[in-house]
Amino acid sequence: MSDAQVTFDPKNMPFRRLGPSGLRVPLFSLELTPERMGVGGSMKGKVRVAFENGINMFNTAEGHAEGHSEIEMGCVIRELGYRRSDLVITTKLFFGIWSGPNNNGLSRKHIIEGMQESLKCLGLDYVDIIFAHQPDHPNSTAPVEEIVRTFNYVIDKGWAFYWGTSEWSAQDIESAYHQSYTADKLKLITPITEQCQHNMLCCEHPKKEYAPLFKKYAIGTTVWSALAGGLLTGKYNNGIPEESQLAAHPDLSKETIRDLHGEEGHMKI
């Protein structure tokens, strides 16, 4: 990576501070999932186009394609010769890639071992942001204090610079901040961002539920499904085109396809 010759040109891409941190991120980022965009050349081409147009933030998760997303993402970055300091790389922990009682969730064991596995798959020494892919309370396996302390440990070890949440409720995020400020009176590092679904058809969380958090903690957001899975582009108005992602991956999109054919889907269109 230190011999990389490709220099990042942000073009006219707007960059903004992410939440209360000093990290500057582009207005747009690219989610990398091989099962959605193909492997090898397809992902490589999309990353190159994004990078050449001012997008240097790339997101994935340990559970995407059973770990192959992180592997493919790391290979593409190396093949394209991008300088690591020019990139903002994020990944998410929770779902794991192996079966077993401790191979998912947000216990200290899985966060640490999952982080190590993700870095191994990516072929990187660190990521810029590590996300908790969802709150752990449905399984009631990890106390919030344990989660907060362990993400702080990950940061202290240099495996990530920041941590964030994904698909957490405002109450969950508030709990994480409370633990950060009060656990044994230690000033622990708080999450800097929430990764939530946000588009014209799904905006309840960011516009209403999270509003007090934005005011109180200046927490940032990175969003997924900004185009509602392509629905807002209009390409599904007259059915499912053959060249669309839904047509290419029907097994991964069963619920979406079923919804499109239902009354709710027709209302959205």
Residues 185-197 have pLDDT tens digits of 678 999 999 999 8
pLDDT, tens digit (0-9, with 9 covering 90-100), for 64-97: 888 889 999 999 999 999 999 999 999 999 999 8
Task: Using the CB atoms, write b or e for 2-23: b if 16+ within 10 Å.
Answer: eeeeeeeeeeeeeeeebbebeb
Give the span between the Cα atoms of 116 and 162, in whole angstroms. 16
Bigger pLDDT: 177 vs 268: 177
> With the C-alpha atoms ordered 11, 53, 127, 83, is the resulting torsion angle positive or negative?
negative
**232-258: average pLDDT:** 74
Question: In the predicted model, is pLDDT for residue 99 greater than 90?
Answer: no
Residue at 42: amino acid letter: S
Q: What is the predicted pLDDT for the residue at 265?
A: 66
- Token code pair at residue 199: 């588009």
Give the span between the Cα atoms of 112 and 171, in whole angstroms. 25
Task: Name the most confidently modeled range: 5-9, 182-186, 217-221.
Answer: 217-221
Q: What is the predicted pLDDT for the residue at 106?
A: 95
Question: In the predicted model, is pLDDT for residue 10 greater than 60?
Answer: yes
- Token code pair at residue 201: 């058809």
**Torsional class of 234: left (φ above 0), alpha (ψ -120 to 50), beta (otherwise):** left
Banded pLDDT at 209 (limits 50, 70, 90): very high
Cβ neighbours, 10 Å, residue 146: 18
Percentage of the chain beyond pLDDT 70 is 85
Question: In the predicted model, is pLDDT for residue 2 greater than 50?
Answer: no
Question: In the predicted model, is pLDDT for residue 256 greater than 90?
Answer: no
Cβ neighbours, 10 Å, residue 51: 20
pLDDT, tens digit (0-9, with 9 covering 90-100), for 118-168: 999 999 999 999 999 999 866 567 889 899 999 999 999 999 999 999 999
Instruction: Work out the mean pLDDT of the chain and round it to a whole number.
Output: 87
What separation in angstroms does the CA of 31 have from each of 23, 133, 213? 19, 14, 25
Bigger pLDDT: 187 vs 248: 187
Banded pLDDT at 39 (limits 50, 70, 90): very low
